[in-house]
Chains A and B, each alone.
Chain A
């Protein structure tokens, strides 16, 4: 059985359709494509924050959504760690309480990721008692990563984690991401429009454009077929 199966159709109120049809088994799968292609919407659908019109989503042996069977797990039962592009840290809670928000809501036996280790790996010890608005962009990104990790997810969704950072910071945060993925081996969907990030992190690529999956394969094959500047990649006929 594959790790993640996603077949769904979503129609926005504006009429723009999103069709996602893919299966992946890779530790890190990159959702790759230009902005506006529907990548973030797809993450919302998988996380259960947006309901597709029809389809089926399965994570390992758990069916998260199945329109035919009338099944739709609410987000709190999906065990998916979603790191939003703009972090969405809770502004009224300290870094520590942000980090522990999901952790506290897991049964004691299921808390596999220890707080101390996350704080150490992400170098957050000094900012634990601060409020999110006092943090730098890179720190916020790390808190968002740590918060998702500590919720004990079976799948991580990273939405352009480097997009809001400047060049120098990008490399550092990328190091953190890489270390997390290596240490905890949580399967990850990594959204990006940067081919460099795809090459560095992903073993499998799903190229999306115009709300449709255009190509699926290993990074070299998919990237060679398409342009590297983020223009849509044509499917092979």
Chain B
């Protein structure tokens, strides 16, 4: 394979791009639900709240390969969600790019919801009430007062879930598979590691490490910066 930019092959760079795409897609998929659940957790008390919280946090503690297997069972063509999606929308999930997106979305979801919940908890709920009293309906007040005030926390959660998604391996391996032509960054790393034969094999591995480090650090720094911005505004 021809050497290209920074000593990584074209396929390496495609894997980086694919991971970024998959992570971004996962955010698009999970953000609306994450906002809803984060707000619900911050503001409401209801029966089964603890149960719901446990369910949301489960991917955090479950081995990712187990989560991946469960996704495969449910979203596979014979699974109860997968068969339904296929019958009504002709959608195939397992072993397509959509599987990578769903796996990353599920694994990052606890981080996303947690950040959003904390952001909403940091806002005086009476600001929302003031908006309602001034004539704004529930959705209007949420969109013009609660959400803008939670903005930095929400963005921090998005960045964190995004960064987590870049590294997703276990669930992706099972649910998405390891297609030779379209690996994500962690899959590409794994494949390179397995086949590190010949001169320069280890070099390539190290360059992938470097790319991963840079991406992870950038995401963490971004998340940290946004969180601090949020705190500064609250204390102002």
Contacts and interface: CB of A to CB of B under 8 A. Distances in A.
Interface in A77-107: 78-82, 84, 88, 90-92, 101-102, 105-106
B135 A106 contact: yes
Interface size of A as a range: 20 to 34
Contacts of B124: 88
A75 interface: yes
Nearest to A82: B133
Contacts of B130: 82, 84, 88, 90
Contact of A102 (B129, B135, B149): B135
B137 interface: yes
Given A90-B145, A92-B148, A133-B236, A151 B126 contact: no
Nearest to B127: A88
A76 B148 contact: no
B61 interface: no
A186 to B, nearest CB: 15
Contacts of A84: 126, 130
Contact of A147 (B134, B136, B140): B134
A47 B136 contact: no
Which of B124, B126, B132, B149 has most A Cβ within 10 Å? B132
Interface string B109-139: 0000000000000001011011111111110
A74 interface: yes
Contact of A88 (B126, B138, B236): B126
B233 interface: yes
B63 to A, nearest CB: 41
Given A90-B145, A92-B149, A105 B136 contact: yes
A49 B129 contact: yes
Contacts of A48: 132-133
B148 A75 contact: no
A133 B233 CA distance: 9
Interface in B145-182: 145, 148-149
B236 A75 contact: no
A64 B124 CA distance: 26
Interface string A128-160: 000001000000000000011001000000000
A49 B133 contact: yes
A76 B132 contact: yes
A80 B133 contact: yes
Contacts of B134: 76, 81, 101-102, 105, 147-148, 151
A151 B135 contact: yes
A86 B222 CA distance: 34
Contact of B133 (A76, A92, A106): A76
Contacts of B132: 48-49, 74-76
A181 B118 CA distance: 41
Contacts of A81: 133-134
A48 B134 CA distance: 12
A89 to B, nearest CB: 8
Contacts of B140: 105
A148 B130 CA distance: 10
Contacts of B149: 91-92
A101 B131 contact: yes
Contacts of A102: 134-135
Contacts of B137: 74, 76
Contacts of B138: 74
Contacts of A74: 132, 137-138
Contacts of B133: 47-49, 75-76, 78, 80-82
A106 B141 CA distance: 14
Given A81-B134, A90-B145, A92-B149, 14 more contacts: A49-B133, A74-B137, A76-B132, A76-B133, A80-B133, A88-B124, A88-B127, A90-B127, A91-B149, A91-B236, A101-B131, A101-B144, A102-B134, A102-B135
Interface of A: 47-49, 74-76, 78-82, 84, 88, 90-92, 101-102, 105-106, 133, 147-148, 151
5 contacts: A47-B133, A88-B127, A92-B149, A105-B135, A151-B135
